[in-house]
Structure 1
Amino acid sequence: MNFEISHRTTYRYSAPVSQSHHVLHLTPRSHYRQTVSRHSLIIDPAPASKAEMVDDFGNPVSLIAIEQDHRELLIHSRAQVEVFAPMQIDTSRTASWNDVAATLRANLGPETFEAIQYSCPSRFIRPSRDIHKFARASFVEGRPMLEAVQDLTARINRDFKYESGATDAATSVEEVLRIRRGVCQDFAHLEIACLRTMGLAARYVSGYLLTYPPAGQPKLIGADASHAWISVWSPEIGWVDFDPTNNMIPGEEHIAIAFGRDFQDVSPVSGVLLGGGEHEVEVAVDVNPVNGWASIAR
């Protein structure tokens, strides 16, 4: 499927910002199931400098510096992306999770070496005994790994309630496990923590998900949102995606922006600034199939 994506972020400050530097993970990432045909950034006020680079995880990154007083900052990312369906996988006919964990411990080649960085604790994901206990119910000895991950994905979807405002950026994985509520970022962090406690490699995927309006109603402009899911490493297949929020293996309607150890590695907009006082943020996201709903107005 081909998509047109608009991601508009507006910061409004109570006092002037005299200087700011930002790291942007807003360029969708090309990978074996996804091709980015174009991408552009509109930034107001215009940055004094702008550089493009690739981070340690292979994600495209924009570095911007704004050196004029401003009370409002607009960052508007636009892209056209083609996403292909994943290969069909019989999760019951994959290597056991025990064998995959042993392969990662042995670190026998470059592919394993790349995956190992996603098996260690990170800023927002610190495995614990309680998380291991929760995960263990899906990982009986000798069970095919992807079958076990599919079961864990289904349990998180069934046992946890999606509730905006129940958590914030500082909520720990253990707290999410305790309250059994959260949003896609929390469920992705929880599933990754579970997989890492079992000695497996799992990474955080930030992106977008195509949404549909209620029957008989138009699709509202700016009503979509960013999304998060996970990817687990399999020695036979490579990286395989799972979406615990929706209990599914992502297909053509999931558009990836970046991969990382957790949200901190792939935050859409981060940085430092001088001044500003209090601030508020407004985000408007549109994900439209090309030749589907009307294209986003330019």
Structure 2
Amino acid sequence: MAIFLVRHVTTYRYRRAVRLGRHQLMARPRDSFDQRLIDFSLDVTPAPSEVRWLHDVFGNCVAQVEFACDSDYLRFECIIKVDHTPENAPDFRIEAHAKDHPFAYQDDEAPDLAPYVQRWFSHPEDHLGRWLDTFLVRGTRRRTGQVLMTLNEAISDGFAYDRRTAPGTQSPSTTLERRKGSCRDFAVLMIEAARSLGFAARFITGYIYVPDRDGPAWLGGGATHAWCQIYVPGSGWVEFDPTNGIVGNRDLIRVAVARVPSQAVPLFGSYWGTREDELGMDVDVNVKTTSALS
């Protein structure tokens, strides 16, 4: 068990005072048996006229922040304290019918999992299939856990990390062509590959604890993180982080789950002005343990 402290600061700067519109924030972690939210605070400057909390279609906590002012500066600061129980390796207690791949989800689960099995991207030239053929022989039966571990390792070992601040994600074909991408791109590649193999998979956004960045001071420059979950009968939704080769929840703090990445954007909003009014956005995320602050 570990107590993680997260500080997430996003700052927007404008050339002149602009009228601020609604902003939507996903930063409050999901409570579960392996992570328990102890405390969460949100500080917004300038002061909002209203902060309204709701649960979205996936059960994520979403804050809708309204403003009634003009400003050349907008800052969101979240401080999060989470009790985290790590699972260093997945316990693949797989039901008998799914121990070997390929398999079919049973009738009582299949309708609910169907949206997560449906492919998101079209692949007319089958770049994804040809890539899978380099390390998986499709149509042959293999242990289900081995298939998923191999897929996770193929991305972790075969692609270079490329941090991108631009919004959105690359298509799997682009990631395969470039042989590099961000954590969002690798999560999407694994989701699409898993779905092509008949697995239900979903996108996760949150934070990752990096021990090398732990210490008594808050360090700027970090970012949110993205990975995926794949549904395995008998084990449920299992975490896979292809960016770091992690299987299980070790060092991962879940904030939001979604069918596609555009449904789990950590922060977005609007303003009345021109594109030239934007001077930039800065994001600083730091995750540390309480022992580092004692």
Please report the TM-score for the alignment, with normalisation by the length of structure 1.
0.87
Q: CA deviation at 1:119?
A: 1.6
Provide closer, same or farther for how the CA distance between residues 4 and 49 of structure 1 changes in structure 2, counting only shifts above 3 A. same
| Counterparts of 2:213 and 2:269, CA distance in 1 | 37
The residue aligned with 1:227 is 225
* Residue equivalent to 1:184: 183
Q: Aligned letter for 2:36?
A: T
- 2:130 maps to 1:133: yes
Partner of 2:201: 202
Query: Aligned runs of 1:105-124 on 2, under 5 Å?
Result: 108-109=107-108, 111-122=109-120
Post-superposition Cα deviations, 1:2-29, rounded to whole Å, max 9, x if no partner, equal 1111100000012322131111111111
CA gap 1:63/1:232 in 2 versus in 1, 3 angstroms: same
- Pair 1:67 & 2:50 matched: no
Name the structure 2 match of 1:97.
101
**For 1:244, which of 235, 242, 249 is the aligned residue?**
242
> 2-side partners of 1:214 and 1:88: how far apart?
23
One-letter amino acid matched to 2:60:
N
Identity %: 27
Mark the CA change 1:236 to 1:92 in structure 2 (over 3 Å): closer, same or farther: closer
Tell me which residue corresponds to 1:263: 261
- CA deviations over 1:97-129 (Å, ceiling 9, x no partner): 311xx22xx6x22x443322222234xx55562
Tell me, yes or no, if the aligned pair for 1:91 and 1:144 is still in contact at 8 Å: no
Deviations 1:70-120 (CA, angstroms, capped at 9, x unpaired): 111101111110111238546597622311xx22xx6x22x4433222222
Tell me if 1:50 matches 2:51.
yes
Report the Cα distance in structure 2 between the residues aligned to 1:223 and 1:130, rounded to whole angstroms. 34
Superposed displacement of residue 220, structure 1: 5.6
Distance 2:264 2:257 in 1: 7
Q: Contact (CA 8 Å) 1:139, 1:148: kept in 2 or not?
A: no
What SS class does the counterpart of residue 194 from structure 2 fall into?
A: helix
Match of 1:192, SS state, is helix
- Is the contact between residue 212 and residue 219 of structure 1 (CA under 8 Å) also seen in structure 2? no
CA contact (8 A) 2:7 2:285 kept: yes
Q: Retained in 1: the 8 A contact 2:222–2:283?
A: no
Q: Structure 1 278/88 Cα, relative in aligned 2: closer, same or farther at 3 Å?
A: closer
Residue by residue over 1:49-84, the C-alpha shift from the partner in whole angstroms, topping out at 9 and shown as x without a partner, is 211111111111001111200111101111110111
Identify unmatched segments of 5+ residues in structure 2. none
Question: What's the Cα RMSD here?
Answer: 2.5
| Alignment-derived partner of residue 4 in structure 2 | 3
Structure 2 CA distance for aligned equivalents of residues 72 and 166 of structure 1:
19
Equivalent runs, 1:147-162 vs 2, <5 Å: 147-162=146-161
The one-letter code of the counterpart of 2:13 is R
> Is the 8 Å Cα contact of residues 22 and 66 (structure 2) preserved in structure 1?
yes
1:33 is matched with 34
Q: 1:98 to 1:28 in 2, by over 3 A?
A: same
